[in-house]
Amino acid sequence: MTKAVLLCLAAVSLAGASLPLESPLNLWLYHSEATGLLLPGELPNTHTVTVEPGSRSMWLWQLLQDRSTPPSTHSGIIGWQASATGQAESNSEFVSRGGLTFEVFSKPLSWFSISQRTSLWTGSDGNPPSGFAPFHFGLEHGRHLYIDWGFIQAETGPLKAAMGRMPVRWGPGRFTQLMISAEAPAMDMVKMNLQLGEKVRFTGFTSTINSDSSTWLSAHRLDIMPYEKLRIGLSESILYTADGIDLAYANLFIPWYPVQWNERVDDNAFMCVDATWQPLHGLAVYGEFLIDDIQYENTNDVPNKLGCTIGADFFAPGCGIGAVAEYTAVQRYVYSQRKINNFYMHDGRIIGSQLGPDADRVTGSVSYIGLNSITAQLKGSYTRHGEGSVYEGWPDSVQAEGAFPSGVVESTTELELDLGWYPENWLELRSSGGVSFTDNTGNHSGVKTDNSWISVELSVSRGN
């Protein structure tokens, strides 16, 4: 760029994690890829947004910086931040929800930090307000207290090491990710990040998924930037059942697919490649390709288990308009496995895309931040779900033939408008509304349903 740029966002950092992965503001971080530096393949992480002077979006980048900064500490003593959220929603009936979050952060040493966030909520339908982490949903009645994250982290030079409960998102998808999704519950893990210069970054972790059934997940990824406007990510994960951590999979520096194929029987392994490319100023294109299982020696006509996402992100900072078009498809039997304990799930939610197997979706959105302190997004999607689900496992009788999606296909068209107002960095008012129309509801031929809703949400935060 020939124009001077202002570097105004420099700390969207795991050490603070003050901007949760479920925050809709993260979409604007992705929009920044169209005109500035490419994001790492993992969020959250340290990133710098480049904004041309005089841009109408300056206020938003400053807000993101404020919200991404950990609560301030005094001489290493604990800093804190609390927020209260109230929500009213009208659907077929009136619903009210409220919630509190409390975050603490301490950095007693220049290289060592501690971070934790706890949430407490209530709701007439048993659910928290929409801004809360997705893993709150589906908990047993009355369990309205949760640790969103809590970990210690040490950093020295290019190495970061952390231990505890952490939310993780891998991949460039704006609306879903295939291997490790932001919609999956936070996991208890040991994790490391290694920055090898400006062009190579390594991330790996080993986590427990279900201590009662001794289920574990190990994952690692390598991000490479062969040149400034292209980032390529190579990742691998494996979910397995064992009496303790399997040191073959806890070794983050070897490929696991050969280990699983030659030395193990029924572990659930995945490989993935993703990329983001900025061909023009103002445009970023991206894609993700997931391999759950590929039949390179197929003698029994067994299907492959694959998933893919392709998309394009446009942003014009001068007028504050952004747009995204994205398509995702996940074949039948992806995330499933012969053993129930090895389904690619954590606390009842798929670790990868919540779209689930035997489904595809096209999504488009237009966003606007041209007015000071106001965000707007209009999003539409068309989703198809076949009769398959993650719970059907991997039957011995499975055959490759058949349509995608399979059987009686449920199709849903949805349109949603979301408005946000941020008069102060501690105050947020959001309103959203939408309609949806579903054919063959529940994969029952001829059954039609429609839905409409409107929601208003107010959040107030305070820190020291």
The per-residue pLDDT for range 169-226, each reduced to its tens digit, is 999 999 999 999 988 888 999 999 999 988 999 999 999 988 777 899 999 999 999 9
pLDDT per residue as tens digits for the range 338-358 = 888 889 999 888 999 999 999
Residue 122 tokens read as 């209530």
């590929």: which residue's tokens? 294
Beta strands in 91-128 (DSSP E): 94-109, 112-123
> Does residue 364 contact residue 379 with C-beta atoms inside 8 Å?
yes
Query: Which residues touch 95 (CB under 8 Å, ≥6 apart)?
Result: 88, 89, 123, 124, 125
CATH code matching the domain that covers 6-463, chosen among 3.20.20.80, 3.20.20.140, 2.40.160.130, 3.30.450.20? 2.40.160.130
Proportion of the chain above pLDDT 70, given as a percent: 88
Q: Give bridge partners of residue 159 from the DSSP assignment.
A: 156, 194
What are the backbone dihedrals phi and psi of residue 134, each rounded to the nearest 5 degrees, phi first?
A: -65, -25
From 251, 287, 293, 286, select the one nearest 271 (Cα to Cα): 293
Would you state the pLDDT for residue 350?
A: 94
Would you state the pLDDT for residue 431?
A: 95
Q: Give bridge partners of residue 454 from the DSSP assignment.
A: 90, 433
Would you state the pLDDT for residue 10?
A: 32
Q: What is the mean pLDDT of each run of 10 residues along the chain (464 residues)?
A: 33 46 87 89 65 74 81 79 92 89 91 92 84 66 80 94 94 95 90 93 93 87 95 95 84 83 79 97 97 72 87 92 97 90 90 95 96 95 95 76 89 97 93 96 96 95 85
Residue 260 tokens read as 């699983």
pTM: 0.91
Dist CA 132 CA 21 (whole Å):
10
Buried b (16+ CB within 10 A) or exposed e, 384-404: bbbebbbeebbeeebeeeeeb
